[in-house]
Amino acid sequence: MILSVKNLSKKYGNKTVLKNINLEFEAGKIYGIVGKNGAGKTTLFKSLTSLESANGKIDSPLGNLKNHIGLLETNPLFLSRITGWEYLKLLCVARGINEDNFDKQNIFDLPLNEYVEFYSTGMKKKLAFMAILLQKNDILILDEPFNGVDIQSNIILSSLIEQLKQKNKTILISSHIFSTLSNLCDQILYLKNGQIVKSVLPQDYKTLEDEMKTDVLMNTSKEIML
């Protein structure tokens, strides 16, 4: 077991965002987290990385967990007037990794000497992903990694995730694209109103997808007057 979560709960004021989450993650496996907007996926990820304080217990044999986790945020934040190369250097320096030769490892052919603010959404995401790969983390948390990324890069991303699994890394992915998750994941967790309501293995992915569709359609009672 590389990561175990016991009774994880999180509140923003009176609003409960996560309710008694209990999970166990193993090394060399890919986990998918699905749920509609506001279900608590990002809060769960931020709580696991300790970017958000939460109640409950998070254990790992890795020790100080945050030094072994790479987080890819939904919309990675970049400061202005920083080049891609400098961003990669910053993330390596932060983890004490002495690495300079980023051009050789530039799998997405990003213009590393240009300011990141001029990158497209997809390019920014690829840069952030490349940075957490360079950090050589044991656990990778990828919040909507496929959003805004072109099809070609999605294929590269999926292939890289598979390779990371082969290297015994643990990967947690949230995505709205169910088909991508079902192709990649060893287990999919369905998060609804801050609770894990289902934990599904590959043979039951189709049932889960159908259930989620029904759930969404049944609960759509409002409409915009067009």
Partner 1 sequence: MLSYYFSLQYRRLSRWLNANGVPPFVGIFLAGFIFVFLSKLLFLKLTWASECFILIAFSQLAKLSAQKRNNQLSLIFDNLTKKKIRLVENLLLCLPYVIYLLYVGEFYAVGVLLLLAIIFSFIVFKTYVQNTIPTPFKKIPFENIIGFRKNWWLYLLLYFIVFQSVRVDNFNLGLVALGAIFLVQMSAYFTQESQFLVWIYNKNPNQFLLSKVKDAILSCLILSLPVALVLLLFNSQHFLIILGVLFIGLIYSSSIVLAKYSAYPNEISLPQAILYAISLVFPPLLLVIMCIFYSKSKKNLNLSL
Residues that bind partner 1 (CB under 8 A): 49-51, 53, 66-67, 71, 73, 77, 79-83, 86-87, 89-91, 93-96, 113-115, 118, 135
Helices then strands, counting H and E runs in the chain, come out as 6, 9
Q: How many residues can be counted in the chain?
A: 226
| Beta carbon nearer to partner 1, 1 or 97 | 97
Helix pair angle (121-134, 151-166), 10° resolution = 10
Closer CB to partner 1, 77 or 151, in the complex: 77
Name the minimum Å distance from CB 80 to partner 1: 7
Question: CB of residue 51 vs partner 1: minimum separation in angstroms?
Answer: 6
Residues whose CB is less than 8 angstroms from the CB of residue 46 and which lie 6 or more positions away in sequence, other chains included? 52
φ, ψ (nearest 5 deg) of residue 148:
75, 5
Burial of 203 from C-beta contacts in 10 A (0-12 / 13-18 / 19+): exposed
Q: In whole angstroms, what is the distance from residue 202 CA to residue 186 CA?
A: 6
What is the closest distance, in whole angstroms, from the C-beta atom of residue 188 to partner 1 in the complex? 26
Cβ proximity to partner 1, 79 vs 201, nearer residue: 79
* Residue 115 bridge partners (DSSP): 83
Longest distance between any two alpha carbons in the chain, whole Å: 57
CB of 179 to partner 1, least distance (A): 29
Q: Which is nearer to partner 1, 113 or 163 (CB)?
A: 113
- Tell me phi and psi for residue 180, to 5 degrees: -65, -45
73 vs 138, which CB is nearer to partner 1? 73
Alpha carbon 216 to chain centroid, angstroms? 23
In angstroms, rounded to a whole number, what is the distance separating the alpha carbons of residues 10 and 52? 9
| Nearer to partner 1 (CB atom), residue 94 or residue 155 | 94
Q: In what order do the strands lie in the sheet with 3-12?
A: 15-25, 3-12, 55-59
